[in-house]
Structure 1
Amino acid sequence: MDILNRLKATPMRAAIAGALAVAVPAALAVSAAPAAAQSDQLDQVVAALRGITTMKADFTQTDRKGQTVRGVMTMKAPGRIRFEYEKGVNMLIVSNGRSLTLIDYEVAQTQRWPISNSPLGALLDPKRDVKRYGKLISTGNPDVLSIEVKDPKKPEYGTITLIFTRSGDAPGGLKLSSWVALDAQNKRTTVRLSNQRFGVTVPDSAFTYRDPRPAVGRPR
Structure 2
Amino acid sequence: MIRSAFALAAALSAPVAVQAQTGDLAAVQRHLQALTTMTAGFTQTDRTGKVLTGTFTLKSPGKLRFQYEKGVPILIVAEGGALTFIDYSVRQVQRWPIKNSPLSVLLDPSRDISRYARLVQTGNDRVVSVEASDPKHPEIGRITMIFARDAAAPAGLALQGWVQLDSQNNRTTIRLTNQRFGVPVSDGTFKWVDPRRSTTR
Normalising by structure 2, what TM-score?
Answer: 0.89
CA-CA distance at 1:33 after TM superposition: 2.7
Q: Write the letter of the residue equivalent to 1:133.
A: Y
Show the counterpart of 2:67. Answer: 84
Q: Write the letter of the residue equivalent to 2:191.
A: T
Show the counterpart of 2:102. Answer: 119
- Of the three residues 10, 17, 21, the one matched with 1:31 is 17
Determine helix, strand or coil for the equivalent of 1:179: strand
Distance 1:51 1:85, change over 3 A: same
Q: Write the letter of the residue equivalent to 2:17.
A: S
Structure 2 unaligned residues grouped into runs of 5+: 1-8
- Within 2, Cα distance between the matches of 1:84 and 1:97? 18
Show the counterpart of 1:167. Answer: 150
Contact 2:56 2:65 in 1 (8 A): yes
Normalising by structure 1, what TM-score?
Answer: 0.81
Contact 1:95 1:101 in 2 (8 A): yes
Determine helix, strand or coil for the equivalent of 2:25: helix
CA-CA distance at 1:167 after TM superposition: 0.7
CA-CA distance at 1:29 after TM superposition: 5.0
- Within 2, Cα distance between the matches of 1:165 and 1:29? 22
Q: CA RMSD in A?
A: 1.6
Equivalenced residue count is 189
CA offset digits 1:36-87 (Å, max 9, x no partner):
x33x211100111111111100000001221000000000011100000001
5 Å-filtered alignment, 1:1-220, equals 24-26=9-11, 29-34=15-20, 37-38=21-22, 40-128=23-111, 130-214=113-197
Structure 1 unaligned residues grouped into runs of 5+: 1-23, 216-220
CA-CA distance at 1:126 after TM superposition: 3.1
Show the counterpart of 1:14. Answer: none
